[in-house]
Amino acid sequence: MKILVVSDTHGYAERLLTVRDRTGSVDVLIHAGDIEGQEDYIRNIFDCPLFMVAGNNDWGSGLKRELTFRIDDFRIFLTHGNRYGVSLGTERLLAEAEVRRADICIFGHTHRPTLFKKNNVTMMNPGSIAYPRQIGKKPTYGLIEIDENHMPGFRIEQID
């Protein structure tokens, strides 16, 4: 199973076409917010289940601020992250993910890719394909691939 993870597209969802061309078909798309009104556009370009949450720039969106759901054997907590102060660190978000018994916590907001595991929770921020802020400022997205033995693999990819 291949899961595409994105965040902070900020009205530039057409850049997801480049990502889709690079990754090929995906089984699930997860978007961690700041979509800025392009939810329907994203639904139209991906033919798979989608999980999307509202970010701090998604005013008036009907999307929920947080979701907890299962994919395969994994409980996933999805949030934009701004309400947990992720710009200052991930401690509060990690604590919330643990309370929710999440195996994977996906967030955005910082526009910087992050991937680490702590206290049995894999924390993933795919960065941004619109406004990257990390050193080098390359647009990034995340991939989660779950193999036939239900083992997940996580990676952050750059768009050159």
CATH number for position 44: 3.60.21.10
> What pTM was estimated for this model as a whole?
0.97
Number of domains in the chain: 1
Q: What average pLDDT does range 60-65 have in this prediction? A: 96
Q: What average pLDDT does range 27-48 have in this prediction? A: 97
Task: Look up the domain containing 45 and give its range.
Answer: 2-158
Confidence of residue 123 (pLDDT cuts 50, 70, 90): very high
Token digits of residue 64: 């929920």
Q: Using a CB cutoff of 8 Å and minimum separation of 24, what contacts does 144-148 make?
A: 144/2, 144/3, 144/5, 144/104, 145/1, 145/2, 145/3, 146/1, 146/3, 146/71, 146/72, 146/74
**Angle in degrees, CA 86, 87, 88, rounded to 5:** 85
Q: What is the largest CA-CA distance in the chain?
A: 41
Mean pLDDT (the chain, rounded): 97
Q: Which tens digits make up the pLDDT trace of 84-120?
A: 999 999 999 999 999 999 999 999 999 999 999 999 9
Residue type, 114: T
Residues 6+ apart with CB under 8 A from 160: 138
pLDDT of residue 160: 79
Q: What average pLDDT does range 8-37 have in this prediction? A: 97
